[in-house]
Amino acid sequence: MLDFFENYPQIFSGKVDRIISKDTNDKRWEDLTSALIRCLIIKINGLVLSRSDSVTDLGIIFDTKLDFSHHINSMVSKAYRRLGILKRKTKEFSSEIALKVLYYAHVRSSLEYCSIIWDPISRNKIEIIERIQNNFLRYLLYKKNGIYLQDISSSYLRDMFNIPSLCSRRDDSCVLFFYKVINGSIDCSDKLSAINFAVPARSLRNQGSFPNVYSRFNYIDRFSLYKFYKTFNKISGELGIYHMSPTVFKSNCFQLLYT
């Protein structure tokens, strides 16, 4: 049986009065929501339920802001631990292929799990994730040349060892996911019904397969569908999402996004 503290209405009404009396330029609704969360106490059989700022579902940590900061921090910490173990266990290794396979299996795989859900838009978070791979690339260079070089560019190392950036791989995963949804390889009717297809018009220079979504804020990039529109329209002239086989589409998408 759910019940509330008897004095909850008085507490909350006082909060509301103070918020409404503030200047209109203040964050009234943010304060209102915060007040509601702080004052709301739920009991079951007399036991107060503890409040959590995050919940884990299928390995993904969802936070109250839905910016997946908790998940990214946890994922990065775990990846660094795995990378440290990899370095310690491969001190005697000299094969570049073996090191890359171990990195792909134990480190990069954890950095790409369900990336279509938590893919960050913040440059800071993107760079934090990329630093893990940059660390491994410098380790590969050390294994190859016997010296650690800290001032060498990450893009140069990626080209040298033919390892694409994690950001570009997340873009690729996003495009491939919606390709499979559109072509029926993944049964997801909710996503399919949300996709808007652009009808080509002779009078328009833009011949993209999907509409261009514009916003003054980058918050819209958090939605995987809009990110798919934006990413695929950049390469739509070279790809046929409706008639290409999965193998050919994946190969061409890989080349276009990583070059």
| Last residue of one domain, picked from the residues 163, 181, 215 | 163
Rounded mean pLDDT of 12-25? 46
On the question of pLDDT at 26 being above 70, the answer is no
More confident residue, 106 or 24: 106
Residues 158 and 182 in one domain: no
On the question of pLDDT at 110 being above 90, the answer is yes
Q: Are strands 47-48 and 2-3 parallel, antiparallel or unpaired?
A: unpaired
What's the whole-model pTM score? 0.74
Rounded mean pLDDT of 77-103? 95
Residues 159 and 229 in one domain: no
On the question of pLDDT at 63 being above 70, the answer is yes
Residues 70 and 159 in one domain: yes
Rounded mean pLDDT of 172-196? 86
Rounded-to-integer distance, Cα 86 and Cα 16, Å: 55
> Containing domain of residue 17, as a range?
1-49
Burial 93-127 (b: 16+ CB within 10 A, else e): eeeeeebbebbeeebbebbbeebbebbbeeeebbe
Percent of the chain at pLDDT above 70? 75
pLDDT at position 2, please?
40
Please write the tens of the pLDDT for every residue from 201-213. Answer: 665 665 667 777 7
| Last residue of one domain, picked from the residues 105, 137, 163 | 163
pLDDT at position 230, please?
80
Residues 149 and 217 in one domain: no
Lowest mean pLDDT segment, chosen from 99-113, 146-160, 223-237: 223-237
Q: How confident is the model at residue 237 (pLDDT cuts 50, 70, 90)?
A: low
More confident residue, 135 or 64: 135
Residues 183 and 236 in one domain: yes
Give residues with Cβ within 8 angstroms of 22, minimum separation 6: 28, 31
Residues 11 and 98 in one domain: no
On the question of pLDDT at 58 being above 50, the answer is yes
- State how many domains the chain has: 3
Rounded-to-integer distance, Cα 90 and Cα 136, Å: 12
pLDDT at position 200, please?
66
pLDDT at position 246, please?
82
On the question of pLDDT at 167 being above 50, the answer is yes
Residue with the two structure tokens 């795989």: 109
Q: Residue 181 CB: number of other CB atoms within 10 A?
A: 20
Burial of 89 (0-12, 13-18, 19+ CB in 10 A): exposed
Query: What's the mean per-residue pLDDT of the chain?
Result: 80
Edge to edge, the sheet with strand 43-44 lists 2-3, 43-44, 47-48
Residues 15 and 105 in one domain: no
Q: Are 108 and 134 in contact (CB under 8 A)?
A: no
Rounded-to-integer distance, Cα 223 and Cα 174, Å: 11
First to last CA, the chain: 60
Most confident of 28-42, 49-63, 130-144, 207-221: 130-144
| Last residue of one domain, picked from the residues 122, 146, 163 | 163
Residues 64 and 153 in one domain: yes
Q: How confident is the model at residue 217 (pLDDT cuts 50, 70, 90)?
A: low
Rounded mean pLDDT of 58-64? 89
Residues 84 and 37 in one domain: no
Residues 119 and 205 in one domain: no
